[in-house]
Structures are given as structure tokens and as C-alpha cells.
Amino acid sequence: MRAILHVDMDAFYASVEQRDNPSLRGKPVIVGGHAQRGVVVAASYEVRPFGVKSAMPMARAVKQAPHAIVVKPRFSAYAEASEQVFAIFERYTPLIEPLSLDEAFLDVTASVGLFGAAADIAKRIRKEIAHELNLPASAGIATAKFVAKIASDLAKPNGQREVRPEETVAFLAGLPVSRLWGVGPKTEEAMKRAGLVTIGDVAARDAAWLEERFGASSGKHLWELSHGIDARDVVPDRAAKSVGAEDTFEEDLTGTEVLKPHVHAQALRVARRLRRASLKGRVVQLKLKFADFTLITRRTTLREATDDGQVIYRAALELLERAHEGKALRLTGVSVQLDEDEAQLGLFPAAAPKSSKLNEAMDRIAARFGSKAITMADIAGAEASDDDHHRSEKPVDKPKR
């Protein structure tokens, strides 16, 4: 019987801001960009009763909660906190599947004998995050990823919920079909027309009936999920096909010089994750989302596999300079695709590059003192600029000019 955790940080970006600025604690906080053009990146629980939520246009959020305090995002601070959270995860299992900066699946099946029941492991993880990082987290515990994810959602904020195998069908039964993975608005509407409003309605039908109406693959998928059947494994970086990092900007950015520090920081984050998992890759990919939401990817293949952030950055920068074309961007991302062949050691492995000792030293410093303890000059300059903006933020009814 598997033991799967889904750990999700609560209002992560907003919680980091409230932690770092005590004057914001207990107050309605919106993390976002320009009051008229940007979108809400995160909303504290204090502002959510007013209908404010992530991805909402800032203009609408400000209208609904005029008393809220708006702070500009500090993505470097969130990335650092994320690395510290994942370091706590690694104390309990190497089987960690990151979903984003602030959530992950953990397979603790093999950890139960050492640390106790899965629910106890979840409690320990949440307690250590709260004690060491002063941040709240919620957790779901189940035998399947799908169920664990829903359990953590329902446990928010700052709680946990365990769904035992014998409780799974009853736990899911009363939830709307929109909770089923893969069910979007169109499929939900089709299911409602077929009389399927809750997950329990789906579970009550035969698999053959569902396959006849929604197709063999989709019908089987819906039936299995309605019974809590989800055989997908937790896929850690070591078993993943690629390792990446990306950031959405609070305001569109234009110009290679402005974008360089962000791409550089992403390359370094990817490299640290590669080294942590003892992985290397040859294919570097750059992801760009423009102001009009057009999404493109560009990639290049290196002569040798690498886990060096500077090598990855130089490759990503070349891609950026060719693909950017001076257009405004709202997102950049850097990833390295892994080749199974690279996991195999050659008969006569090449000598480690000179940069490996520097990377090892930087990793040790970051692990002990945090990722901001040592960094590159261009990234430090960009972070200092972000901190200046952060310190000058005011309540939304007195916007900064």
C-alpha cells in the first residue's frame, strides 16, 4: 500500500511577504503588479473573503478590496524559501515530484518504517516548515496522488487531512465532477447533461457506460478516478525527462538587458536541482510567453552534458537574443532535458571541469546560509532593485506614483 503526500504551501508568496514584513501580518495583502495592468500573483487569506484570488486582474482586485495592501512580487525571495522547503522534504524521502515552487508530491512509502505513519511524517514536515521557516503549509495523505491533492486542498489553510483506502470512495462521492483531473468546463457540461453532477454519480455508473458516452480512454479514466484509482508514480527530478524553472513577471518586461538577470537566476536554480539529483543534460530549452500570451520555446544542444549554471545560462542567453525580438514578455523559463544515456558512466569518465569545485562550494554556502548568501552580480543588482520597490510599497488607496 503506497503512502503519498501532497504538501502545498498556503498563499505562499503572500505568506513570505507577511513573514518578512511583520507590519503585514493579519492584514489583507495582494501580491501583484501595476494596479491597472497587472494580475494578482497571490492573495493572503485575509483578503480572500472579498473575492480576491490569484490570476485576477489587479484592477478588479483593487475595486473589490480597496483597503488591501499591495506589494510587488519578489521572486528571488520565493525561490529561496522554496529551496528551503524542498530541503525539508528531502529529510524524509528522495521521491519528490515538484509541481511548482510551493507544492510537491512525496512518496513516503519506504520512509514509514523509519519515521512512522504517513500522517505523522506530514505533521513533522509541516511543523519543521513552520518552526524553521515561519511559513504555513497544508498536506493531504492518501494512497493515490489524485486523492492526496484534493485532501490537501480541503485541509487549507494550515491543516492536513488523511484519506484512508477504505474511506476513499465516500470521501470523493460528494465532490463535484470538476474535481476530477482532466475535466474542464466543456467536459463538465457534457457530464452534467448525462446526469453526472458529483464524483459519486460517476462511481455509481459502470465503466462500460462511461466508455460508451465519453470514449474508451476517457471513460475508463473517469471511472478509475471516481474510485480513487490513480496508479501514477511520484516522479522525482532523477526520473524526470527535464528539470526547469520559470517565473511570471508582475509587469511585462522588454529588453534583453532587463531580462538577463531573470534568465540567469533560472539557469542557476536549474543547475542546483541537477546537481542535487546527480544529473546532467545536453539540451537547454528557453520558454517565452509574450504580452499577447503567445508562447514559444527554443532549444539548443550542447556538445557535452552539464550541470553548470553558467553553461546553461550562456546557452539560454543565446536563445533569448535570437528569439526575443524586442517584444514585451510576461514569462521566461529555462529547462534542461535529460538524456537517459547521460546517466550511464563511461568506461573512462572525463575529468571534472574546474567549475565543479566552485559549484560545490556555492552549493554548500547556499545550503547553510540560503541561496541569497552568494550569487552573481547581475542577479544581486536586480534583487536590490526589487527590494527597493518592496520597501516603498503603500496601501492600494495611496498608490505609488
Binding-site members are: 8, 102
What is the grid cell recorded at 157?
489553510
Is the Cα dihedral 84, 88, 91, 93 positive or negative?
negative
Alpha-carbon Rg for the chain, nearest whole angstrom, is 23
Show binding-site residues for Mg(2+): 8, 102
Q: Is 103 considered catalytic here?
A: yes
Walk across the sheet containing 96-100 and list its strands: 96-100, 103-107, 4-9, 137-142, 160-162
**Beta strands 137-142 and 160-162, pairing class:** parallel
Amino acid identity for residue 210 in this structure: L
Report the interhelical angle of 216-226 vs 207-214 (nearest 10°).
140
Given 46, 103, 162, 250, the catalytic residue: 103
Torsion, Cα of 235, 238, 243, 247 (10° steps): 60
In sign, the C-alpha dihedral spanning 317, 318, 319, 324 is positive
**Positions marked active-site:** 103
